[in-house]
Amino acid sequence: MLLKYLSWKRTAKPHGSITDDEVHVELVQEKLYMQGFDEKGRPLVYLFLARHFPAKRDLDEFKRYVIYILDNTCTRLRTGQEKFAVVGDLRGWGYANCDIRAYVAALDIMQSCYPERLGRVLLIHVPYVIMAAWKMLYPFIDDKTKEKFVFVAGSWDLDATLRDSIDESQLPKEYEGRLELRGYNDLSPPSSSN
């Protein structure tokens, strides 16, 4: 497994890491924020799936973006912590955002090259079509993976689930918390000379 990873790393990250410039088109869309920590000390990734448009993406750049995000999230892991958590917001998600090729590519990269890094996924504002698809796939998913996904139903469940998992100081203002999400367009891009 290690040899396979090292071989993959040489081709996926020939310079050792992915720079901002290599994923600029994906970064400026601000569909993802890497900020805060959950109650277990796992770094949080806030993902807004309605901001992803397959018609505007290049699959190779998207794959580099996934690697960029995973690498940067893993650098935020505190001592003794090996996993991160995701809040996936599907508010406004529709057919124009559906990108099976990108979803499969992201999952493949995560499973093959970053195994057991994902601690928990809270999916909120989930459309009915996603719930129906999940129910069909559920029997074929292993129990460890099933435990990582939490579908949050209504607004009361949303507030309670988020507050049970994430301190108010780490919860974005969009969800009645105090955290100001700051994306790539708000910040001076970090130096690409890592």
108-159 residue pLDDT tens? 898 888 888 999 999 999 988 888 878 877 787 778 778 898 988 777 688 8
CA 34/CA 36 separation, integer angstroms: 7
What is the mean predicted confidence (pLDDT) over 93-119?
Answer: 89
- What's the rounded mean pLDDT across residues 19-24? 94
Q: Which helix (DSSP H) or strand (DSSP E) does residue 32 occupy?
A: strand 32-37
At the top level of CATH, which class does the domain 1-38+50-121+133-149 belong to?
A: alpha beta
Q: Measured in Å, how far apart are the chain's first and last C-alpha atoms? A: 26
Q: What is the DSSP string of 35-103?
A: EEE-TTSPEEEEEEGGG--GGG--HHHHHHHHHHHHHHHHHTPPTT---EEEEEE-TT--GGG--HHHH
Query: 79 is written with which tokens?
Result: 């001592």
Report d(CA 134, CA 146) in Å as an integer. 10
Report the pLDDT value the prediction gives residue 187, as an integer from 0 to 100: 65
Instruction: Write down the pTM of the prediction.
Output: 0.87
pLDDT score of 170:
96
146 Cβ contact list (under 8 Å, min separation 6): 138
Average pLDDT over residues 169-187: 90
pLDDT at 81: 96
Backbone torsions φ then ψ of 153, nearest 5 degrees: -80, -85
Q: What is the pLDDT of residues 28-83, one digit of tens each?
A: 999 999 999 999 999 999 999 999 999 989 999 999 999 999 999 999 999 999 99
Coil, helix or strand at residue 135: helix
